[in-house]
Structure 1
Amino acid sequence: MAKAKIQRSAGGVVYQEREGEMWVALIATKGSTVWGLPKGLIEEDEKPLATALREVKEEAGLLGESVADLGYIEYWYRDSSTKVLYHKFVHYHLLSHEGGDVSAHDREVDEARWFPIDEAIERCSYENERDVLTRARAEWDKLSSKAT
């Protein structure tokens, strides 16, 4: 059996505050049936944060600034067309919303939309990304308590 290939990606949890509540941006793919976080492959000589910022702009139409490192998730998947097995690592950053609009997402995404954090956690299709959103909420809670 062939060895698994390592794949490294990065993504972002873009947030804004609305009336004291954390809202985050999710993207929909696969005919708007799968909701998740914007992410993409880290290009050669690119740092994970640069990838996260680029992918958030491309997939969600948003500009962000890094507030915290949220760590990474990992999972295995097999490419359906090539049958190659991948061990994927996705590094996430918490990003404050600095501009852009979710309507400016690219064509590989069906929809990008803002959700209150609890609804985003419920709506997110993958458990490991729900865990990232839970980490993001904890970081935001820490930041909010420092601001008051």
Structure 2
Amino acid sequence: MNFEKSCGAVVYKVKEGKIKYLAVKSKRDGHWGFAKGHVEKGETEIDTAKREVLEETNIKVRLLDGFRVTKEYYPNENLHKEVVFFIGNSDIYDVKIQEEEVEDYILATYDETYETLTYESDKDVLKKANEYLLKLGI
């Protein structure tokens, strides 16, 4: 069985007193999720998450301490995938999507983002991220 590991981040922004979340639409299969990608040799999980967010959205994300959610799944019988998500924000939200991999993006409220996400696992990550931010008083 092959194993792949990816890392990414739930990127948020507080705008007019509301938390907005960034979701991206994959050009490859059309699903909506969060910026993420494969860990490269010598990278930490955090390095990978920051790099992938930057590559896919042009956002230099600052990750918050204390949030790390892992999802595991088997896209086929020969592949075990693990995805690690962090949460973070940025001072600048000048989104420029990586056209080779990303078709579109939204920066939307929790409810709008939740409805847009394709997979239940990503919806669960969003729910945990939102609870985490509310617990912090954000």
TM normalised by structure 2 equals: 0.90
1:59, 1:31 → 2: CA distance? Answer: 13
1:120 aligns with 2:118: no
The structure whose residues are more often strand, as a share, is: 1
Superposition map of 1:1-148 within 5 A: 4-30=1-27, 33-68=30-65, 69-78=67-76, 85-102=78-95, 104-107=96-99, 108-144=101-137
Compare CA radii of gyration and give the structure with the larger one.
1
Report how far residue 113 of structure 1 moved.
Answer: 2.1
Aligned length: 136
1:60, 1:85 → 2: CA distance? Answer: 31
Asked whether the equivalents of residues 7 and 89 of structure 1 are also in contact (C-alpha less than 8 Å), the reply is yes
Report how far residue 60 of structure 1 moved.
Answer: 1.8
The amino acid across from 1:113 in the alignment is I
Give SS of 1:49's match: helix
TM normalised by structure 1 equals: 0.84
Report how far residue 136 of structure 1 moved.
Answer: 0.5
2:94, 2:42 → 1: CA distance? Answer: 28
Give SS of 2:92's match: strand
Pair 71,101 (structure 1): closer, same or farther in 2 beyond 3 Å: same
- RMSD between aligned residues: 1.7
Gaps of 5+ in 2: none
1:85, 1:20 → 2: CA distance? Answer: 46
1:110, 1:143 → 2: CA distance? Answer: 32
